[in-house]
């Protein structure tokens, strides 16, 4: 679809709210936990509060995170991973146990303000080939029944974060929108159930993915600061893909009898690395534009008023799958250590820009690099770089990335250091045979965007099983990466 933007993945979301008609609306940002060294939850909770963020959305029900949110005053949406849907769909008892453990106990004795349970995450994504079609709705029904039995039916609502590919349009005009034909009846049943129980329709919209998937997609249409060929849909003017996507969903809801259904934008954002269009400038342009677009409560052409939205994401996640693209590890408005990437105002409570995380503890100021005496012709070099990149994050290397200007020796050093840092600077993680050395001199190019990181002390130990280099087969993807990194010679 020309007007749709979609996205894959798991995460946490947050909202900076303002009061409208007695409800809290505002902007959010997903706080993902797929990281080798996640920030301690107490530090993240303080980061949320320091930035005036009033709501968080979790994509599981991690007890350490929920405990950190206790008494914080931050509203919470807890999540249920797709892998749990089958058991919850097939056993009301399992749903009751889940609600007791992950909702009731924290609400009653831990002072956690849980407002939503997100059942699954993009379970109808077309790439999943129908895996969760038969289990999502029954799981939703059982969780709702469990909440009612626990006396929480009025306090905690259910929702399903859905990908924008659950609806489509027959043209570029939003007014032609309807639910995807293969799941239309199921979607109508789910929407009716959500409506009957006071839930909301949660959808993830990604203009970046529209641009990523279609080389002919008009780039300016993905942003909010001017598009020379706006779409006229029966007098409603669309000059950005977000409004068009949102109103395509509204058309689908209206066609099926739910014109007033509440909508939550579960994810929206822009990555900063790992692709031609993923960089700091574009991400700042998009997120600033989006904040300006929604800050006045203007809404969209079909639905004026405030928009309840969650930025994706809060913090980079270096352990996410890169199957959709290398950009997957770079959606954060903060780097892995809670350092802001660029200036961004989330609203009145942080008008001065993003507040960095405080209390972050780092490992020693040392790096693992290619030894000056090492030769790029060493027969073990390719396997060494391939091993490092297959066990650590090298997605900032390559064409038009943040480290694209590194030479071949710099690329090798970056790969070695990434592996070394993710293995907590253990000396055995910098013993690539006759190739590597530890240095106290920062190898990051001065004044640029490429940063050789120093790892933080995480909330839980790393789980690397083997940090000593051994020659072993490397998959095709990483052989390609190695050839790309060394091709700059």
Angle at 76 between CA 142 and CA 68, to 5 degrees: 120
Q: Which of 465, 460, 452 is nearest to 416 (CA)?
A: 452
Q: Peptide bond before 313: cis, by omega within 30 degrees of 0?
A: yes
Beta bridge partners, 267, equal 204
CA distance 362 to 167: 45
317 is catalytic: no
Contact (Cβ atoms closer than 8 angstroms) between residue 387 and residue 472? yes
SS3 track for 54-93: CEEECCCCCHHHHHHCCCCCCEEEEEECHHHHHHHHHCHH
- Residue 294 CA from chain centroid, whole number: 20
Coil, strand or helix at 157: strand
Angle at 313 between CA 198 and CA 449, to 5 degrees: 165
Contact (Cβ atoms closer than 8 angstroms) between residue 142 and residue 89? yes
Q: Of these residues, 75, 96, 122, 317, which one is catalytic?
A: 122
CA distance 4 to 8: 14
- Residue 77 CA from chain centroid, whole number: 15
Q: Of these residues, 75, 96, 267, 317, which one is catalytic?
A: 267
- End-to-end CA gap in the chain: 41
Residues with Cβ within 8 Å of residue 486, at least 6 apart in sequence: 376, 381, 382, 385, 408, 411, 412
122 is catalytic: yes
The pair of structure tokens assigned to 361 is 């503890």
Q: For the chain, what is the largest distance between any 2 Cα atoms, rounded to a whole number of angstroms?
A: 72
Residues with Cβ within 8 Å of residue 260, at least 6 apart in sequence: none
HSE value, Cβ hemisphere, 13 Å, CA-based, for 232:
4
Q: Which of 78, 81, 37, 36 is nearest to 360 (CA)?
A: 37
Residues with Cβ within 8 Å of residue 275, at least 6 apart in sequence: 212, 325, 326, 327, 400, 401
Contact (Cβ atoms closer than 8 angstroms) between residue 293 and residue 299? no
- Residues recognised as catalytic: 122, 267
């Amino acid at each position: 679809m020309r007007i749709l933007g979609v996205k894959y993945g798991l995460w946490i979301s947050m909202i900076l709210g303002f009061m409208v008609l007695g409800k809290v609306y505002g902007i959010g940002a997903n706080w993902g936990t797929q990281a080798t060294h996640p920030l301690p939850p107490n530090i993240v909770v303080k980061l949320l509060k320091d930035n005036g963020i009033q709501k968080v959305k979790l994509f599981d029900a991690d007890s350490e995170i929920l405990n950190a949110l206790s008494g914080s005053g931050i509203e919470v949406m807890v999540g249920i991973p797709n892998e749990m849907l089958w058991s919850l769909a097939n056993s009301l008892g399992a749903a009751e146990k889940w609600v007791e453990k992950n909702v009731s106990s924290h609400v009653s004795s831990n002072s956690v303000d849980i407002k939503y349970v997100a059942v699954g995450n993009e379970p109808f994504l077309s790439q999943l080939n129908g895996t969760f079609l038969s289990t999502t709705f029954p799981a939703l029904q059982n969780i709702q029944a469990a909440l009612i039995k626990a006396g929480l039916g009025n306090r905690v609502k259910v929702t399903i974060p859905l990908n924008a590919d659950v609806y489509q349009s027959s043209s570029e005009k939003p007014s032609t929108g309807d639910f995807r034909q293969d799941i239309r009846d199921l979607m109508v049943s789910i929407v009716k159930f959500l409506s009957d129980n006071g839930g909301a329709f949660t959808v993830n919209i990604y203009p970046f993915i529209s641009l990523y998937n279609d080389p002919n997609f008009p780039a300016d249409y993905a942003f909010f600061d001017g598009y020379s060929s706006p779409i006229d849909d029966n007098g409603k003017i669309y000059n950005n893909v977000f409004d068009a996507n949102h109103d395509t969903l509204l058309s689908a809801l209206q066609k099926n009898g739910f014109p007033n259904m509440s909508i939550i934008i579960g994810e929206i954002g822009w990555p900063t690395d790992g692709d031609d269009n993923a960089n700091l400038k574009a991400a700042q342009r998009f997120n600033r534009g989006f904040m300006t677009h929604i800050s006045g409560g203007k809404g969209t052409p079909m639905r004026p008023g405030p928009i309840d939205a969650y930025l994706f994401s809060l913090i980079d996640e270096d352990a996410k799958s890169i199957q959709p693209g290398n950009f997957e590890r770079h959606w954060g408005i903060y780097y892995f250590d809670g350092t802001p990437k660029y200036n961004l105002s989330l609203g009145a409570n942080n008008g001065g820009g993003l507040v960095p995380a405080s209390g972050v503890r780092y490992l020693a100021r040392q790096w693992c690099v290619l030894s000056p005496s090492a030769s790029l012709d060493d027969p073990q070099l390719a396997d060494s770089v391939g091993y490092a990149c297959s066990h650590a994050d090298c997605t900032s290397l390559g064409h038009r990335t943040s480290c694209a200007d590194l030479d071949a020796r710099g690329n090798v050093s970056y790969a070695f250091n990434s592996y070394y840092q993710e293995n907590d600077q253990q000396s055995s993680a910098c013993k690539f045979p006759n190739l590597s050395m530890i240095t106290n001199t920062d190898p990051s190019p001065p004044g640029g965007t490429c940063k050789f990181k120093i790892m933080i002390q995480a909330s839980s130990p790393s789980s690397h099983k083997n940090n000593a280099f051994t020659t072993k087969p490397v998959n095709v993807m990483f052989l390609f990466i190695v050839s790309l990194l060394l091709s700059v010679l």
